[in-house]
Structure 1
Amino acid sequence: MNFGTYKFRNYHTIIIVFKWKHFFNTMFLRKLFLSDKDKMFFLSLSEKRKREFLGIRYALKYIGIKMNIFYDEKRKPFLYPEGKHISLSHSFEKIAIAISSYHIGIDIEKLRKDKKIVKIKKKFIRDDESLFIHTNYEEDYLHIIWGIKESLYKLEGGIFYSFLDHYKVSPFCLQKNSCVSCWIIKNSYSKRFSAFYRKIEKYYLVYIIDK
């Protein structure tokens, strides 16, 4: 495996971003000391889920955390018995993993040459959000806003699926590292959050902590 790792902490949270080649081998599995039950579960997963499965275990081993990993009915991982929350995201060669004492949502997206994010912007950019997007840096803004809404979606547990109706991002100015106000909009009330983002090489990392 080829890893290039970034690690930082924020608000009782550790976030790791690392790079690897898209292949698996039995030697790496043996190094992670997977049980027979874990190996059977691993083989049943999709390729994307396999990367996430191995990524979580590598990250825990890397930072020296010894906790058991369990999966809920939606196959979403959580850590036991410490009660830690975990969120993860994968984009091309990078995986981002957050482990926190609080509920957390994380997303990582690569700035792509095919400008796919521009082609789908009508699916997630509200009219009031389009007003503060600088045309010279449209792709950067779109990736950050998408990452914020994806993180809110994960934070809420995937209940509210409309990125137009249920999530809103307040105006912000593009910086390398920054904090942005954002909202989950429900039928009866709305809740405000602070989203943090940073640029790592050609990727944007976004995370939201529900403190």
Structure 2
Amino acid sequence: MNFYTYKFRPFHTIIIVFRWKHFLETMFLRKLFLSDKEKVFFLSLSEKRKIEFLSIRYVLKYIGIKINIFYNEKRKPFLFPEGKYISLSHSFEKIAIAISSYHIGIDIEKLRKDKKIIRIKKKFIRDDESIFIPKNYEEDYLHIIWGIKESLYKLEGGIFYSFLDHYKVSPFCIQKDSYVSCWILKKYYSKRFYAFYRKIEEHYLVYIIDDK
């Protein structure tokens, strides 16, 4: 089983990263065991949501976690009983799932060969962020910063959509730092968080836990 599992006792958090293509056939067989109501809901989902729907259940069953999963009006998953939060991300062949006693945002991004991240950097890199990005590691920094802002966006519930105006990343060095100071910028005040990241094969995993 190609799983990467991380547990954080102080935050009562577990993060699982796995290659979903290896389990796709098995996961689709799992839908045969869904209730009639779940099958109707499953068929109404997009292909991306179908993969997430099945993969969550597959992974939780595999690691022995018994939690009920529900979806809100925006078809975003949440967990029952109360007190548990979930965040999801997938990029190409990998899916990342985070379950925590605290609000959590997670993102996983693949280092792509087409350099798309460089072409779109003006959409999410602020002027005060561009000055600390070294040219020889630009793609790595851009993927990490994108992952941080995507995680902040999820943490905030998707309310603030502008990656330029509402989210800020403080200077960091990927050769030295394992976490990054970052901010959600609101009209009347700002809130500081710490984002953690690590490289898994050709992907960057980023997660932010709001323990306040």
Question: TM-score w.r.t. structure 1 length?
Answer: 0.94
Q: Tell me whether 1:140 sits opposite 2:144 in the alignment.
A: no
Give the TM-score of the pair, scaled to structure 2: 0.93
2:116 pairs with 1:96: no
Instruction: Indicate the percent of aligned positions where both proteins have the same amino acid.
Output: 80
Shift of 1:177: 7.0
Amino acid at match of 2:118: V
Aligned length: 207
Q: Which moved more, 1:96-105 or 1:51-60?
A: 51-60
Q: Which has the higher helix share?
A: 2
Question: What's the secondary structure of 2:34's corresponding residue?
Answer: coil
Query: Contact (CA 8 Å) 2:20, 2:55: kept in 1 or not?
Result: no
**Aligned Cα root-mean-square deviation (Å):** 1.5
Q: How does 1:165-184 map to 2 (within 5 A)?
A: 165-175=165-175, 178-184=178-184
1:186 aligns with 2:186: yes
Per the alignment, residue 62 of structure 1 pairs with 62
Q: Write the distance in 2 (CA, Å) between the matches of 1:24 and 1:81.
A: 30
Paired amino acid for 2:71: Y
Of 76-85 and 139-148, the range deviating more from structure 2: 76-85
The unaligned stretches of length 5 or more in structure 2 are: none
Residue 51 (structure 1) aligns with: 51
CA distance in 2 between partners of 1:103 and 1:9 (Å): 15
Task: Tell me the residue number matched to 1:74.
Answer: 74
Deviations 1:8-30 (A, max 9, x none): 11221000000022845652324
Cα deviation, 1:150-205, whole Å, max 9, x if unaligned, reads 00000000000000000000000013871000000000100000000000000000
Match among 2, 6, 13 for residue 4 of structure 1: 2
- From the superposition, tell whether residues 176 and 204 of structure 1 become closer, same or farther in structure 2 (CA, over 3 Å): farther
Partner of 1:164: 164
How far off its partner does 1:40 sit?
1.2
Q: Structure 2 counterpart of 1:208, which letter?
A: I
Unaligned runs of 5+ residues in structure 1 are none
Identify the residue that residue 114 of structure 1 maps to in structure 2.
114
Residues 17-66 of structure 1 show CA distances to partners (whole Å, capped at 9, x for unaligned) of 00022845652324xx3211111111111111111111211121122111
1:29 equivalent to 2:31? Answer yes
